[in-house]
């Protein structure tokens, strides 16, 4: 599929809404896929208008929005609300919603019931974590017409089993990760997020798969990249080593709030143009 140029590079989907079939076409054309998280309508509207190809309503909302220190407490109901908000504000990007911890591990029937709730509020696809153990679930979802994105490497929902936030797939574990990637591709995933794996391993998986890989802390040879939007935009002081701050949104927000407070206290806001004389 042809990918027309924009001032910023080739456009996935030719400028039309990004859909599942565009992803493999983008990989074949060597067009990088751009993915960010979003959890609410105003942010999604801005990120979509900026040309982001995929918006992930990630269970990272647990850390980013809800104030938890992991993704584990996030409920399906919370993902449903966030997905509805993001989908309403998005016109071009493909909306992928995370299946949160506890909403799919019991098996295909539970996963299907959870995924249907996310699709009904506007998700174009769902994402779940895990490799060979998830093939039956992936098949059940894809057979029901729900595209699935996989997630391998550091899988945050398994943080307790993995012993913390650690790079995955080093040494012989790399072969296991490749086997997982091939198995979930065979089961029908439309793409695979690779989180915190060594760069050569991410390149090997990317080479081995026909569907795109989306890296986060996995080097530049993936077919696309994803970041948590608050890390990307510099919303917080801390960000992970694999992220780059492309803005200083946190500092800008703090300054705006301080300026507003000063104007209210000084009596310079509101001014006559802000009130109704009659
Ligand atoms: O929930 C999330 O934000 C994610 C990304 C880290 C890929 O799964």
Query: Does residue 56's CB lie within 6 angstroms of at least one atom of ligand 1?
Result: yes
Q: How many residues does the chain have?
A: 278
- What is the architecture, at CATH level 2, of domain 5-247? Alpha-Beta Barrel (3.20)
Is the CB of residue 211 less than 8 Å from the CB of residue 185?
A: yes
pTM, full prediction? 0.96
Strands 9-10 and 5-6: antiparallel
Catalytic residue among 195, 199, 207, 273: 195
Rg (CA), the chain: 20
Q: Domain coordinates of the chain in residue numbers?
A: 5-247, 251-278
pLDDT of residue 9: 60
Measured from the CB, is residue 98 less than 6 Å from ligand 1?
A: yes
Our mutation pick for probing the ligand 1 site, out of 34, 38, 52, 58, counting the most ligand atoms within 8 A of Cβ, is 58
Separation between Cα atoms, residue 64 and residue 215, nearest integer Å: 19
Listed as ranges, residues in the chain with pLDDT below 50 are: 1-3
Gap from CA of 278 to ligand 1 centroid (Å) = 51
Q: How far is CA 193 from CA 117, 217, 257, in A?
A: 22, 10, 36
- Helix residue ranges per DSSP H, the chain: 20-29, 41-49, 61-64, 76-89, 108-120, 135-143, 159-162, 173-187, 199-208, 229-233, 249-266
């Amino acid at each position: 599929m042809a990918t027309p140029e924009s001032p910023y590079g080739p456009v996935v989907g030719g400028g039309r809404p990004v859909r599942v079939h565009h992803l493999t076409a983008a990989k074949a054309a060597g067009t990088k896929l751009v993915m960010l998280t979003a959890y609410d309508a105003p942010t999604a509207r801005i990120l979509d208008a900026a040309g982001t190809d995929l918006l992930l309503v990630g269970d990272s909302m647990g850390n980013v929005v809800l104030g938890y220190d992991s993704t584990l407490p996030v409920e399906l109901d919370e993902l449903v609300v966030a997905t509805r908000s993001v989908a309403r504000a998005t016109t071009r990007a493909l909306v992928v919603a995370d299946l949160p911890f506890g909403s799919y591990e019991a098996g295909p029937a539970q996963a299907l019931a959870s995924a249907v709730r996310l699709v009904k509020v506007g998700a174009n696809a769902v994402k779940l974590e895990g490799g060979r153990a998830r093939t039956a679930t992936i098949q059940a979802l894809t057979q029901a017409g729900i595209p699935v994105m996989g997630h391998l490497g550091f899988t945050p929902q398994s943080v307790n089993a993995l012993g913390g936030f650690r790079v995955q797939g080093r040494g012989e574990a790399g072969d296991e990760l490749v086997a997982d990637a091939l198995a979930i591709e065979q089961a029908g995933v439309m793409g695979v997020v690779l989180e915190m794996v060594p760069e050569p391993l991410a390149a090997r998986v990317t080479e081995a798969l026909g569907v795109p890989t989306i890296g986060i802390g996995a080097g530049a040879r993936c077919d696309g990249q994803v970041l948590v939007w608050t890390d990307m935009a510099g919303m917080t002081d801390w960000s992970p080593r694999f992220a780059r701050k492309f803005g200083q949104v946190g500092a800008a927000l703090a300054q705006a709030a301080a300026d507003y407070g000063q104007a209210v206290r000084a009596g310079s806001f509101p001014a006559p143009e802000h009130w109704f004389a009659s």
